[in-house]
């Protein structure tokens, strides 16, 4: 599976933004998926993970409520809907995948990384 993230851009604080990650070359519906981000000088941060269906999701406590992950298996795509964006959400956002379980993605151990998409939030 290859992953391609898109949807980043320059937004204002308080805005919403939806990122997409298109998967190609594999049985997408069986992959656990997730989103991470990395700001300059910081370590990569886990944001959200999703199993084979929208019923199985996991978020770190710090982000519950502002970010929502979802997937559309018919389109081989996952999404990250972000609300009430803050300046500190500025980062490069990456999607990731694991062929066995989203559990491994949530642990920061995906098998596959996509290229990042830049999100810049102006204050």
pLDDT tens per residue across span 81-94: 999 999 999 999 99
Q: What is the mean pLDDT of the chain?
A: 94
CA atoms of 19 and 72, how far apart (whole Å): 13
Q: What is the pLDDT of residue 12?
A: 98
CA atoms of 82 and 46, how far apart (whole Å): 14
What confidence category does residue 26 fall into, taking pLDDT thresholds of 50, 70 and 90? confident
Rg (CA), the chain: 13
Q: What is the pLDDT of residue 9?
A: 97
Strand pairing of 77-82 and 91-98? unpaired
Whether 48 shows a pLDDT value over 90: the answer reads yes
- Report whether 120 contacts 9 (CB < 8 A): yes
């Amino acid at each position: 599976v290859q992953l391609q993230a898109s949807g980043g851009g320059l937004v204002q604080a308080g805005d919403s933004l939806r990122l997409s990650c298109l998967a190609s070359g594999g049985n997408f519906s069986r992959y656990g998926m997730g989103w991470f981000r990395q700001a300059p000088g910081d370590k990569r941060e886990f944001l959200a993970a999703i199993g084979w269906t929208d019923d199985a999701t996991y978020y770190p406590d710090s982000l519950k409520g502002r970010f929502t992950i979802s997937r559309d298996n018919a389109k081989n795509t996952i999404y990250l809907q972000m609300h009430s964006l803050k300046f500190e959400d500025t980062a490069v956002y990456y999607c990731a995948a694991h062929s066995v379980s989203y559990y491994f993605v949530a642990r920061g151990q995906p098998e596959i990384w996509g290229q990042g998409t830049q999100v810049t939030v102006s204050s």
